[in-house]
Amino acid sequence: MTQSNEVGADTDHTAAAPFEEYNEKIAASDLRRYLKKGPMPWTKALIEALKAEGIEGATLLNIGGGIGVIQHELFAAGLARATEVEASSAYVDTARKESERRDHGSRITYRHGDFVELAESVPRADIVTLERVLNVYPDWERLAGLSAEHAQRLYGLVLPRDTLFVRLIIAAMNRVLRLQRRRVRAAIIAIDALDRVLREKGLVPHFSAKVGPAWQVAVYLRP
């Protein structure tokens, strides 16, 4: 069942239970860190890669956007409108409040829920971003395919690198999550498999960069 709740910007609420584990405490911590230090290095690298393509007057669909760092930063570079689809209600509320504080709340539509379930009702955008999202979604190929269909021009991602070091870290992290009885799990996504899914949707690789020992930024283009 879907409920609507509009406070400053549009917000749709749907069930997305596993990701509700990202609660108010985590959202508040993420916001404090962002306001003090700015975007994380991998997020900054994605933002800069998108800005380099020219985003004046563009629209953004930010899937799993958390506290909204990507749209907050891109509005300052000329972004026109944004939609954030986020499965954590705490993140939605935190992102909305921060956008209102920055006086661009009226240019953002917030949708709470699983993008795969909401995809048919979410409009396409010039830019689609998934920052550390595909690797924690149970059916990453379906999410990648549906989100790629929404990208009219650029498709930006941050993913874990496929290295032994990262695999060991993710295995240890998943063990901790199991012990904590949390339902979210992380995984490695092979770039060649991702390329295949995105090429089937008409996107081609355009930019790639490694950030630190763990993360990879990728931007795909619709020719």
Determine, yes or no, domain membership for 80: yes
Mean pLDDT over the full length of the chain? 90
**Band of residue 92 on the pLDDT scale cut at 50, 70, 90:** very high
Question: 2 lies in a domain?
Answer: no
> Cα separation of 219 and 209, whole Å?
9
Cα–Cα distance, 223 to 82 (Å, whole number)? 22
* CATH label of the domain that carries residue 110: 3.40.50.150
Residue 188 lies in a domain: yes
The pTM of this model reads 0.89
Count of domains in the chain?
1
pLDDT per residue over 31-66, tens digit each? 999 999 999 999 999 999 999 999 999 999 999 999
Cα 112 to Cα 129: distance, rounded to the nearest angstrom: 16
pLDDT at 79 over 90: yes
Q: Is residue 68 part of a domain?
A: yes
Question: Is the residue at 125 inside a domain?
Answer: yes
Terminal-to-terminal C-alpha distance of the chain: 38
Q: Would 187 be classed as within a structural domain?
A: yes
Q: What is the mean pLDDT of residues 153-171?
A: 92
Stretch 97-101: mean pLDDT: 96
| Residue 17 located in a structural domain | yes
Reported as a single tens digit per residue, the pLDDT across 113-160 is 999 999 999 999 999 999 999 999 989 999 999 999 999 999 999 999
Q: Which domain holds residue 60?
A: 8-221
Residue 87 maps to a domain: yes
pLDDT beyond 50 at 7: no
In sequence order, the 6+-apart residues with CB closer than 8 A to the CB of 168 are none
